[in-house]
Chains A and B, each alone.
Chain A
Amino acid sequence: MQLIESARKITRRLLWTWKPGSEKEAGDAVVKNLLLHWFPNRTSLGSLSWGYSFWLGTMAFVLFLVLVLTGIILMFLYVPSVERAYGSIKDLEFVVSFGWLMRGAHRIAAHLMVAVVFLHMVRVFLTGAYKNGSSVGANRPLNWIVGLGLLVLTLLLSFTGYLLPWDQLAYWAITVGTNIASAAPLVGKGMRFILLGGNEIGQNTLIRFYVLHVFFLPMVLLFLFAYHMWRIRKDGGLAVTDHEALDQRLEETAPVRTKTYSLLGITGSGSVHVQNRMVDEERNSVASVPHLTRRIWLVTIVTVVAVIGLTLLVRAPLEAPADPSVTPNPAKAPWYFLWLQEIVTISTVRLGQLTINGALIGGIVLPAVLFILALWWPFRDRSGLHTVGIWFARERRTQNLVFLCICVLIVAFTIVGTFFRGPYWTFYWPWEAWPSIPVKF
């Protein structure tokens, strides 16, 4: 007890300049605390609800933290050299104390992050949360675009990550990935050359993907994430807040009380926050400390426990060392790229003499079209204010359905790729046995 009390005192001395004595002062304290300053003073009940956001964004960030922490340890133990990479991963798996746990947790957190970031995007779309509500100075479409950037970064980080063990999965993923890049018109060949650092997959390639994975991409992601968070605050909080404000306008409200708490220490009177923060009224909101921070802790703990639990259940695989002469049969990408693998398989187009490689259509054109459509959609969506921050708004039914159809198609392709494809990428039922095919010539 004594220890906890003194630990608390030390934290306070390091992070807080001053101890809150009342509700008002507690609000001020949020502003003055290093760790809490990015939270609002009060949080609306809608934003705190489990069922509105499912806290997917928070989860994604916790997973990122797990990835950074385990990743730093892995960096001490991994050697990015063609000769030694595979051996160092094998050592991690079988020799290093808890190496399997570090690598396993890193891998599981990465898989979960892809899933969670994707679901987060689905949630934002279905709740119309990329739309500006009544908040002044909001620019949610921009934050949707930033979010799409974060999704792409997450996928790139996953891709560059599973190349590093330099096993068969890695080698053939680089082969296929860089050949998709080279299918791009005009710049394709040059892009492949720069990505590989030559014409062949080798040391240049490994070190390039390594630096991208451990430094460049995480840095970009961190900056974009910070901007993503900052925008949420400037956009007036989660979109559901706008919805709550809309409901309140319909009520006969008492005269707005004078705000007594500090607004981040940045406002004079009549700031954006004061104008539309009806939901900040005490009956609709609670103090961020402890109500918001408590839920964030809970989400953090559940996420970390899920990562560790899954790591104990699922051992991270390591395929045979990279072998340019033999492609695994079938050679499957990780699940989140299987829909693309499925599509590049079926999208080669033949028009008389002209043949367009599926690598270009399925690997570049189709994903690019989907991405551009997603970028543009907030500007196309002209549904009313009442559709902001609410699940399955009636006015947005058609677009929600179309969006869900695309998601279902992607998931369906992923399932087909995962469970229904065998040697030579032919169709097999999941319960059907695959024929045995000699590995070598």
Chain B
Amino acid sequence: MKSSTVHVPAPQAGSAGAASASRRAFLQKIGLASLLTGLAGFGLQSLRSLIPNVLYESPQKFKIGLPSLLADGVTFLEGRRLYVVKEGKSFHAISGACTHLGCTVKYTKLQQPKQVDINGEKKQITAEFHCPCHGSKFYDDGTNYAGPAPTPLHWYKLSVAPDDGQLIVDLGDEVERNFRLTV
């Protein structure tokens, strides 16, 4: 490196001095920009590393047993927070997670049957789902009617396993509230 490059140019060397000053400013900008780019890159990397690529979570689709072994009426699958309803040969599954903030709703038998109107359809119900956290209430088909819950409880698709005939729940497949699996 020539020693002249590090000397501050003499003031009378007008254009050369200006060129040097602008070169210095340019180098400063380059330096600052690379520092900031580096920091931003580090920030992004850090954030990205916190988003897991592999999840060791329970599968969305799982078997819950033979339909014939399921008790008539409502069964609560604790580990899955899922209510499975068996009415004779017809089956459906309702999520136990409140649609407001995710607490587990409680299946509550009514003292007396109640006449309700669900989307214009008159129906008699004997049980409801109640949420302990913020007091949301749902009819037995998951329709929300009181409290802060904005939507009905989710219904999930049920199917029969082709290999061993067990019931399969697919939490990734939401279905309408008229869904029934007949076995």
Contact = CB atoms under 8 A, between A and B. Distances in A.
B55 interface: yes
B157 to A, nearest CB: 18
A197 B81 CA distance: 20
Contacts of B47: 194
Contacts of A262: none
Contact of B133 (A194, A325, A331): A331
Contacts of B56: 202
Interface residues of B, number: 31
B interface secondary structure, majority: loop
Interface string B25-65: 00000000000000000000001001110011110000000
Nearest to A333: B133
Contacts of A204: 52
Interface in B46-100: 47, 50-52, 55-58, 76, 78-79, 81, 96, 100
B154 interface: no
Most chain A CB within 10 A, of B52, B81, B106, B151, is at B106
Contacts of A225: none
A347 B47 CA distance: 33
Nearest to B103: A327
Given A329-B106, A341-B134, A356 B150 contact: yes
A193 interface: yes
Contacts of B78: 325-326, 441
A176 B133 CA distance: 9
B148 interface: yes
B156 to A, nearest CB: 15
B135 A199 contact: no
Interface stretch (A73-81, A275-283, A418-426): A418-426
A198 B148 contact: no
A84 B135 CA distance: 32
Contact of B102 (A175, A193, A348): A175
Contacts of B52: 197-198, 204
A424 B132 contact: yes
A425 B135 contact: yes
Nearest to B107: A441
Contact of A425 (B51, B133, B151): B133
B103 A175 contact: yes
Nearest to B83: A441
Most chain B CB within 10 A, of A175, A180, A328, A347, is at A175
A179 B102 contact: yes
A176 B97 CA distance: 11
B102 A176 contact: yes
B47 to A, nearest CB: 8
Contacts of A441: 76, 78, 106-107
A335 B134 CA distance: 15
Interface in B138-153: 147-151
Contact of B81 (A324, A331, A363, A423): A324
Contacts of B131: 327, 424-425
Interface string A187-210: 000000110011110101000100
B148 A357 contact: yes
Given A325-B79, A358-B148, A424-B135, A200 B102 contact: no
Contacts of A179: 101-102
A22 interface: no
A200 B58 contact: yes
A346 B100 CA distance: 11
A198 B133 contact: no
Contacts of B51: 193-194
Contacts of B55: 198-199
Given A197-B52, A198-B52, A441-B78, A358 B103 contact: no
Contacts of A331: 103, 132-133
Interface in A318-361: 324-331, 341, 344-348, 355-359
Interface in A165-183: 172, 175-176, 179-180
A35 B50 CA distance: 39
B133 A359 contact: no
B103 A176 contact: yes
A198 B133 CA distance: 23
B103 A180 contact: no
Interface in B98-138: 100-104, 106-107, 130-135
B57 A197 contact: no
B103 A172 contact: yes
Interface string A424-438: 111000000000010
- Please provide the 4 A-B residue pairs with the shortest distance between their CB atoms, ordered closest to farther: A425-B135, A329-B132, A325-B78, A441-B76
Interface of B: 47, 50-52, 55-58, 76, 78-79, 81, 96, 100-104, 106-107, 130-135, 147-151
30 contacts: A175-B103, A199-B57, A202-B57, A324-B79, A325-B79, A325-B104, A326-B78, A327-B106, A327-B132, A328-B132, A330-B133, A341-B133, A341-B134, A345-B134, A345-B147, A346-B148, A347-B148, A348-B149, A348-B150, A355-B151, A359-B100, A424-B130, A424-B131, A424-B132, A425-B132, A425-B134, A425-B135, A426-B135, A441-B76, A441-B107
Given A327-B106, A345-B147, A346-B148, 15 more contacts: A172-B133, A175-B101, A179-B102, A180-B101, A194-B47, A198-B55, A325-B76, A325-B78, A326-B104, A331-B103, A344-B134, A357-B148, A425-B134, A425-B135, A426-B135
